[in-house]
Structure 1
Amino acid sequence: MKKKNIQPIEKTKARIRSKVKGTNTKPRLSVFRSNQHIYAQIIDDTIGKTIVSSSTLDKEVRASIESSSPCEASKIVGKSIAKKSLENKIDAVVFDRGGRLYHGRIQALADAAREEGLKF
Protein backbone atom coordinates (compact mmCIF):
# COMPACT_ATOMS: atom_id res chain seq x y z
CA MET A 1 0.00 0.00 0.00
CA LYS A 2 1.24 3.45 -0.87
CA LYS A 3 1.43 6.13 1.74
CA LYS A 4 -0.56 9.24 1.04
CA ASN A 5 1.69 12.18 0.27
CA ILE A 6 1.48 15.01 2.75
CA GLN A 7 1.37 18.42 1.13
CA PRO A 8 4.32 20.70 1.97
CA ILE A 9 2.07 23.34 3.54
CA GLU A 10 0.57 20.74 5.89
CA LYS A 11 4.04 19.51 6.83
CA THR A 12 5.17 23.04 7.63
CA LYS A 13 1.97 23.75 9.56
CA ALA A 14 2.48 20.64 11.70
CA ARG A 15 6.11 21.55 12.40
CA ILE A 16 5.18 25.08 13.48
CA ARG A 17 2.22 23.89 15.57
CA SER A 18 4.46 21.47 17.49
CA LYS A 19 6.66 24.37 18.60
CA VAL A 20 4.10 27.16 19.04
CA LYS A 21 1.71 26.66 21.96
CA GLY A 22 -0.75 29.18 23.36
CA THR A 23 -1.31 29.48 27.09
CA ASN A 24 -3.89 31.40 29.09
CA THR A 25 -1.38 34.23 29.71
CA LYS A 26 -0.01 34.27 26.15
CA PRO A 27 -2.49 32.70 23.68
CA ARG A 28 -1.78 31.80 20.06
CA LEU A 29 -2.75 34.12 17.19
CA SER A 30 -3.50 31.70 14.37
CA VAL A 31 -3.84 32.99 10.80
CA PHE A 32 -5.50 31.12 7.93
CA ARG A 33 -5.42 32.49 4.41
CA SER A 34 -7.58 31.32 1.54
CA ASN A 35 -7.60 32.69 -1.97
CA GLN A 36 -10.38 35.17 -1.20
CA HIS A 37 -10.44 35.66 2.58
CA ILE A 38 -8.20 35.81 5.63
CA TYR A 39 -9.12 34.56 9.09
CA ALA A 40 -7.46 35.25 12.46
CA GLN A 41 -8.17 33.55 15.78
CA ILE A 42 -6.73 33.94 19.24
CA ILE A 43 -6.69 30.47 20.80
CA ASP A 44 -5.94 29.20 24.31
CA ASP A 45 -4.39 25.78 23.62
CA THR A 46 -4.50 24.66 27.25
CA ILE A 47 -8.31 24.42 27.12
CA GLY A 48 -8.64 24.28 23.33
CA LYS A 49 -10.91 27.30 23.08
CA THR A 50 -11.06 30.21 20.66
CA ILE A 51 -11.14 33.44 22.65
CA VAL A 52 -11.44 36.02 19.86
CA SER A 53 -11.81 35.73 16.10
CA SER A 54 -11.99 38.05 13.13
CA SER A 55 -12.08 37.61 9.37
CA THR A 56 -12.95 39.37 6.15
CA LEU A 57 -16.41 37.79 6.44
CA ASP A 58 -17.32 39.76 9.61
CA LYS A 59 -19.93 42.45 9.04
CA GLU A 60 -17.95 45.33 10.57
CA VAL A 61 -14.78 44.33 8.72
CA ARG A 62 -16.59 43.87 5.44
CA ALA A 63 -18.19 47.31 5.80
CA SER A 64 -14.83 49.00 6.37
CA ILE A 65 -13.07 47.39 3.39
CA GLU A 66 -12.90 50.06 0.70
CA SER A 67 -10.20 48.73 -1.61
CA SER A 68 -10.19 45.45 -3.51
CA SER A 69 -6.59 44.89 -2.41
CA PRO A 70 -6.22 41.75 -0.28
CA CYS A 71 -3.38 43.36 1.73
CA GLU A 72 -5.65 46.24 2.72
CA ALA A 73 -8.30 43.76 3.86
CA SER A 74 -5.65 41.91 5.89
CA LYS A 75 -4.66 45.14 7.61
CA ILE A 76 -8.27 45.76 8.61
CA VAL A 77 -8.58 42.22 9.99
CA GLY A 78 -5.32 42.72 11.93
CA LYS A 79 -6.61 45.92 13.50
CA SER A 80 -9.93 44.26 14.31
CA ILE A 81 -8.37 41.24 16.03
CA ALA A 82 -6.05 43.50 18.03
CA LYS A 83 -8.92 45.70 19.23
CA LYS A 84 -11.02 42.69 20.21
CA SER A 85 -8.14 41.06 22.06
CA LEU A 86 -7.29 44.24 23.97
CA GLU A 87 -10.96 44.49 24.99
CA ASN A 88 -10.60 40.96 26.41
CA LYS A 89 -7.43 42.04 28.28
CA ILE A 90 -5.06 40.08 26.04
CA ASP A 91 -2.03 42.18 25.14
CA ALA A 92 0.60 39.53 24.27
CA VAL A 93 0.24 36.56 21.91
CA VAL A 94 2.33 33.93 20.13
CA PHE A 95 2.11 34.27 16.34
CA ASP A 96 1.21 31.20 14.24
CA ARG A 97 1.49 31.96 10.53
CA GLY A 98 -0.24 28.72 9.58
CA GLY A 99 2.53 27.26 7.44
CA ARG A 100 2.66 30.25 5.10
CA LEU A 101 5.59 32.56 4.54
CA TYR A 102 5.73 35.72 6.63
CA HIS A 103 5.11 37.88 3.58
CA GLY A 104 2.29 39.73 1.87
CA ARG A 105 -1.11 39.33 3.51
CA ILE A 106 0.23 37.48 6.57
CA GLN A 107 2.78 40.23 7.20
CA ALA A 108 0.18 42.97 6.66
CA LEU A 109 -2.11 41.39 9.26
CA ALA A 110 0.73 41.01 11.78
CA ASP A 111 2.00 44.57 11.29
CA ALA A 112 -1.50 46.04 11.68
CA ALA A 113 -2.05 44.04 14.89
CA ARG A 114 1.26 45.32 16.26
CA GLU A 115 0.33 48.91 15.40
CA GLU A 116 -2.88 48.56 17.43
CA GLY A 117 -0.91 47.47 20.51
CA LEU A 118 -0.76 43.67 20.35
CA LYS A 119 2.67 42.30 21.35
CA PHE A 120 4.31 39.26 19.78
Structure 2
Amino acid sequence: MAKGSKEKAARRKRVHDSIRQTIMGTSQRPRLSVYRSNKYIYAQLIDDLSGKTLTAASSLEADVSGENRTEESRHVGELVAERAQEEGITKAVFDRSGYKYHGRVRAVAEGARDGGLHL
Protein backbone atom coordinates (compact mmCIF):
# COMPACT_ATOMS: atom_id res chain seq x y z
CA MET A 1 0.00 0.00 0.00
CA ALA A 2 1.41 3.38 -1.03
CA LYS A 3 2.02 6.09 1.52
CA GLY A 4 -0.12 9.18 1.32
CA SER A 5 1.29 12.68 1.22
CA LYS A 6 0.36 13.35 4.86
CA GLU A 7 2.34 10.33 6.06
CA LYS A 8 5.33 11.35 3.91
CA ALA A 9 5.24 14.91 5.21
CA ALA A 10 4.97 13.72 8.80
CA ARG A 11 7.91 11.35 8.35
CA ARG A 12 10.05 14.08 6.78
CA LYS A 13 9.18 16.41 9.66
CA ARG A 14 10.20 13.76 12.22
CA VAL A 15 13.49 13.11 10.42
CA HIS A 16 14.14 16.84 10.07
CA ASP A 17 13.53 17.43 13.78
CA SER A 18 15.90 14.58 14.60
CA ILE A 19 18.61 16.03 12.36
CA ARG A 20 18.17 19.49 13.87
CA GLN A 21 18.81 18.13 17.36
CA THR A 22 22.38 17.31 16.35
CA ILE A 23 23.17 20.05 13.81
CA MET A 24 23.68 23.67 14.76
CA GLY A 25 25.06 26.51 12.69
CA THR A 26 27.35 29.22 14.03
CA SER A 27 28.67 32.40 12.45
CA GLN A 28 31.98 30.63 11.68
CA ARG A 29 30.35 27.42 10.44
CA PRO A 30 26.71 28.11 9.46
CA ARG A 31 24.08 25.53 8.59
CA LEU A 32 23.43 25.05 4.86
CA SER A 33 19.70 24.32 4.86
CA VAL A 34 17.98 22.98 1.74
CA TYR A 35 14.28 23.20 0.91
CA ARG A 36 13.00 21.27 -2.08
CA SER A 37 9.64 21.86 -3.70
CA ASN A 38 8.38 20.01 -6.75
CA LYS A 39 9.55 22.77 -9.08
CA TYR A 40 12.26 24.78 -7.31
CA ILE A 41 15.05 24.37 -4.77
CA TYR A 42 16.21 26.81 -2.14
CA ALA A 43 19.41 26.91 -0.07
CA GLN A 44 20.39 29.24 2.73
CA LEU A 45 23.23 29.60 5.21
CA ILE A 46 21.86 30.11 8.71
CA ASP A 47 23.55 31.21 11.93
CA ASP A 48 21.41 29.47 14.57
CA LEU A 49 23.02 31.31 17.49
CA SER A 50 21.81 34.69 16.28
CA GLY A 51 18.84 33.32 14.33
CA LYS A 52 19.84 35.04 11.08
CA THR A 53 20.15 33.97 7.48
CA LEU A 54 23.61 34.94 6.25
CA THR A 55 23.09 34.27 2.55
CA ALA A 56 20.66 32.42 0.31
CA ALA A 57 20.13 31.25 -3.26
CA SER A 58 17.31 29.58 -5.16
CA SER A 59 16.49 28.20 -8.58
CA LEU A 60 14.06 31.10 -9.06
CA GLU A 61 16.95 33.48 -9.69
CA ALA A 62 17.66 34.61 -13.24
CA ASP A 63 21.32 33.56 -13.29
CA VAL A 64 20.50 29.94 -12.36
CA SER A 65 19.91 27.77 -15.40
CA GLY A 66 20.28 24.19 -16.50
CA GLU A 67 18.81 21.55 -18.76
CA ASN A 68 17.00 19.91 -15.85
CA ARG A 69 16.23 20.54 -12.19
CA THR A 70 19.26 18.57 -11.00
CA GLU A 71 21.62 20.83 -12.94
CA GLU A 72 19.77 23.88 -11.63
CA SER A 73 20.22 22.53 -8.10
CA ARG A 74 23.94 22.17 -8.67
CA HIS A 75 24.10 25.80 -9.83
CA VAL A 76 22.19 26.87 -6.69
CA GLY A 77 24.85 25.14 -4.57
CA GLU A 78 27.64 26.86 -6.47
CA LEU A 79 25.88 30.22 -6.14
CA VAL A 80 25.38 29.91 -2.38
CA ALA A 81 29.06 28.90 -2.00
CA GLU A 82 30.14 31.92 -4.02
CA ARG A 83 28.02 34.24 -1.87
CA ALA A 84 29.36 32.58 1.29
CA GLN A 85 32.94 33.24 0.25
CA GLU A 86 32.07 36.91 -0.32
CA GLU A 87 30.92 36.93 3.32
CA GLY A 88 34.17 35.23 4.41
CA ILE A 89 32.58 31.84 5.11
CA THR A 90 34.54 28.76 4.03
CA LYS A 91 32.96 25.99 6.14
CA ALA A 92 29.35 24.92 6.67
CA VAL A 93 27.26 22.11 8.11
CA PHE A 94 24.90 20.47 5.60
CA ASP A 95 21.25 20.18 6.68
CA ARG A 96 19.29 18.01 4.26
CA SER A 97 16.03 18.93 6.04
CA GLY A 98 14.74 15.38 6.22
CA TYR A 99 15.10 14.72 2.47
CA LYS A 100 17.11 11.77 1.24
CA TYR A 101 20.68 12.63 0.27
CA HIS A 102 19.89 11.89 -3.34
CA GLY A 103 19.12 13.70 -6.57
CA ARG A 104 18.61 17.44 -6.23
CA VAL A 105 19.58 17.61 -2.55
CA ARG A 106 22.85 15.86 -3.32
CA ALA A 107 23.41 18.17 -6.31
CA VAL A 108 23.17 21.24 -4.04
CA ALA A 109 25.79 19.77 -1.69
CA GLU A 110 28.13 18.85 -4.54
CA GLY A 111 27.68 22.27 -6.13
CA ALA A 112 28.51 23.95 -2.83
CA ARG A 113 31.64 21.82 -2.51
CA ASP A 114 32.66 22.63 -6.08
CA GLY A 115 32.10 26.32 -5.27
CA GLY A 116 34.67 26.10 -2.48
CA LEU A 117 32.50 25.51 0.59
CA HIS A 118 33.74 22.76 2.93
CA LEU A 119 30.82 20.63 4.10
TM-score between both structures, scaled by the size of structure 2: 0.90
Partners of 2:59 and 2:84 in 1: how far apart? Answer: 17
- Partner residue of 1:14? 17
Partners of 2:39 and 2:12 in 1: how far apart? Answer: 18
- Partner residue of 2:43? 40
Match of 2:55 among 45, 52, 56: 52
- Partner residue of 2:71? 72
Deviation at 1:57, TM superposition (A): 1.1
- Partner residue of 2:103? 104
Deviations 1:40-96 (A, max 9, x none): 0000000000000000112322xxx141x1101101101100100001100000000
Equivalent position amino acid for 2:85 in 1: L
Partners of 1:73 and 1:82 in 2: how far apart? Answer: 14
- Partner residue of 2:3? none
Deviations 1:14-51 (A, max 9, x none): 00011100011111000000000000000000000000
CA RMSD in angstroms comes to 1.2
Aligned length: 112
Q: Secondary structure at the match of 1:47?
A: coil
Runs of 4+ with >4 A deviation:
none
